[in-house]
């Protein structure tokens, strides 16, 4: 077994949490082919993404309390096995309706990794330490979206879209075995919560009425919505509209991952000099700049892959600075119910992101304009949430010493 504070435990958690991004990023190059094979439109194909996000959100509400009762490790393993079974169902789907249903089931399993990964980090580290470790974990996880679209494009071109889901099934089963053998249980026995409906509802009510939790969660969910808007629309914009070849899609996608990793690494470097909230607001301003540039170019009818990728890379640099701080801030007040807090946090994140993705799919006009406007709007609303809620209700240890002493 690995030591809880070992870098290899963080690597293992990153690999487990990456299951969620892989399930979206790897099959992005396949969306146009799936629509063509099943004879359906962009809106229905995009629903396979939104339904995945909806299932991802709903399942977290169950995983959090279950993990607070039985521990992080067994629940994570069960989720990975469900993910693998559903992935096989996706690979065997013969119509869009079956694919939608299996994607929903896939999400129910895949959400175990992120919600329990966040909770495990909160189990092991203090809130300020967690912000730094989450940034490192996010940088490790960035390998998934960096290589996943390229791998997906190769699989689509060589073996067809169903091979993507076969690959995901194998990865999930492998991770279940590795977690079972290599990861210790991070939750303290004395922190286990009884699994009773009244207790669950009381815990969720306590978490949901914490203003600090609400502020960080809303900021996170809104900035994540901009990321998901790009995931929802990028394949249609780049492949259908801008005529990027599916096998080259991942190369363009890697550009935004570079931005994201740059943001994560900047957050890690700044963590010794600045407070988490100071890093957070800087990241929000960078994300807003990227959104404004993309929307401005689209409104000016400047259409090229780089008019999308470069502004999105800037947006993602800001996002890479924002996400770790908001995750750590949202969980800071709940060391004894980190699983439930992480679940509610993830539910809000995915639910709001699913709305943004559905907007992109429903309003898509064949250009990059709708996607760009949703990304820009998400960044602006995230900044507003920070200024209106987070700034006056910082997490413990996130505020300046003079403020915490008052």
Residue 382 CB coordination number (10 Å): 30
Q: Report the topology of domain 7-184+196-395.
A: Growth Hormone; Chain: A; (1.20.1250)
Contacts of 232 by beta carbon, 8 Å cutoff, 6+ apart:
46, 49, 50, 356, 357, 358, 360, 361, 371
Torsion on CA atoms 178, 180, 181, 186, rounded to nearest 10: 110
Which residue has 């309003």 as its token pair? 363
Round to whole Å and give the CA distance between 145 and 148: 5
CB 330 within 8 A of CB 220: yes
* Tens place of pLDDT per residue across the chain (406 aa): 667 677 778 788 888 888 877 888 888 888 888 888 888 877 788 788 878 878 888 888 888 888 888 888 999 999 999 999 999 999 999 999 999 999 999 999 998 887 788 788 878 888 778 877 777 776 666 566 667 887 888 898 889 899 999 999 999 999 999 888 888 888 888 777 777 778 778 888 999 999 999 999 999 999 999 988 998 888 888 888 898 887 777 788 788 888 988 998 899 899 889 999 999 999 999 999 999 999 999 999 999 999 999 999 999 999 999 998 998 899 889 888 877 888 898 889 888 888 888 888 788 888 999 999 999 999 999 999 999 999 999 998 786 654 444 4
Are 34 and 87 spatial neighbours (Cβ–Cβ below 8 Å)?
no
Residue 301 CA to chain centroid, in angstroms? 30
- Name, in order, each residue with C-beta under 8 angstroms of 319's C-beta and a sequence gap of 6 or more: 223, 224, 226, 227, 260, 263, 283, 287
User: Any idea where the domains of the chain sit in the sequence?
Assistant: 7-184+196-395
The pair of three-digit structure tokens given for residue 50, joined into one six-digit string? 């939104």
Nearest CA among 35, 20, 54, 99 for reference residue 364: 35
Q: What is the 3-state secondary structure (H, E, C) of 56-79?
A: HHHHHHHHHHHHHHHCHHHHHHHH
d(CA 383, CA 200): 32
- Contact, 85 vs 313, CB < 8 A? no
CA end-to-end span of the chain, whole Å? 44
Is the Cβ–Cβ distance between 346 and 111 less than 8 Å?
Answer: yes
The pTM of the full predicted model, rounded to 2 decimals, is 0.75
What's the number of CA atoms in the CB half-sphere (13 Å) around residue 306?
0
Nearest to 227 by CA among 358, 347, 357: 357
Task: Kindly write down the DSSP assignment for every residue of 208-251, as one continuous string.
Answer: HT-HHHHHHHHHHHHHHHHHHHHHHHHHIIIIIIS---HHHHHH
Count Cβ atoms within 10 A of the Cβ of residue 355 and give its class: 0-12 exposed, 13-18 middle, 19 or more buried. Answer: middle
8-state DSSP, 405: T
In contact, 277 and 182? CB cutoff 8 Å: no
Rounded CA separation 51/53 (Å): 5
């Amino acid at each position: 077994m690995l030591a809880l504070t070992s870098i290899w435990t963080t690597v293992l958690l990153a690999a487990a949490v990456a299951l969620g991004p892989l399930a979206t990023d790897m099959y992005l190059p396949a969306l146009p082919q799936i629509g063509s094979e099943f004879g359906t439109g962009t809106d229905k194909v995009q629903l396979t993404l939104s339904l995945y996000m909806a299932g991802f959100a709903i399942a977290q509400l169950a995983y959090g309390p279950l993990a607070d009762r039985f521990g992080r490790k067994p629940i994570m393993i069960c989720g990975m096995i469900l993910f693998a079974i559903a992935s096989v169902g996706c690979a065997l789907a013969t119509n869009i309706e079956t694919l939608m249903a299996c994607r929903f089931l896939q999400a129910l399993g895949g959400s175990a990794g992120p919600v329990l990964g966040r909770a495990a980090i909160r189990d092991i580290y203090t809130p300020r330490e967690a912000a730094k470790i989450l940034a490192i974990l996010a940088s490790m996880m960035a390998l998934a979206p960096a290589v996943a679209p390229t791998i997906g494009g190769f699989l689509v071109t060589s073996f067809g879209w169903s091979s993507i889901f076969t690959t995901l099934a194998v990865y999930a089963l492998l991770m279940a075995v590795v977690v079972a053998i290599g990861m210790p249980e991070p939750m303290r026995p004395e922190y286990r919560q009884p699994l009773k409906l009244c207790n669950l509802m009381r815990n969720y009510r306590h978490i949901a009425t914490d203003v600090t939790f609400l502020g960080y969660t809303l900021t996170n969910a809104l900035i994540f919505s901009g990321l998901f808007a790009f995931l929802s629309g990028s394949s249609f914009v780049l492949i259908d509209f801008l005529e990027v070849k599916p096998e080259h899609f991942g190369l363009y996608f890697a550009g935004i991952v570079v931005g994201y990793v740059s943001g994560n690494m900047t957050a890690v470097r700044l963590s010794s000099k600045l407070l988490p909230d100071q890093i957070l607001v800087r990241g929000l301003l960078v994300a807003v700049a990227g959104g404004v540039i993309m929307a401005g170019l689209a409104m000016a009818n400047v259409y090229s892959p780089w008019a999308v990728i470069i502004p999105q890379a800037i947006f993602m640099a800001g996002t890479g600075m924002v996400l770790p701080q908001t995750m750590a801030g949202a969980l800071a007040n709940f060391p004894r119910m980190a699983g439930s807090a992480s679940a509610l946090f993830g539910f809000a994140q995915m639910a709001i992101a699913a709305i943004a993705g559905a907007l992109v799919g429903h309003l898509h006009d064949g250009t990059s304009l709708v996607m760009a406007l949703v990304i820009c709007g998400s960044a602006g609303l995230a900044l507003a949430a920070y200024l209106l809620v987070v700034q006056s209700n910082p997490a413990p240890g996130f505020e300046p010493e003079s403020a915490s002493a008052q």
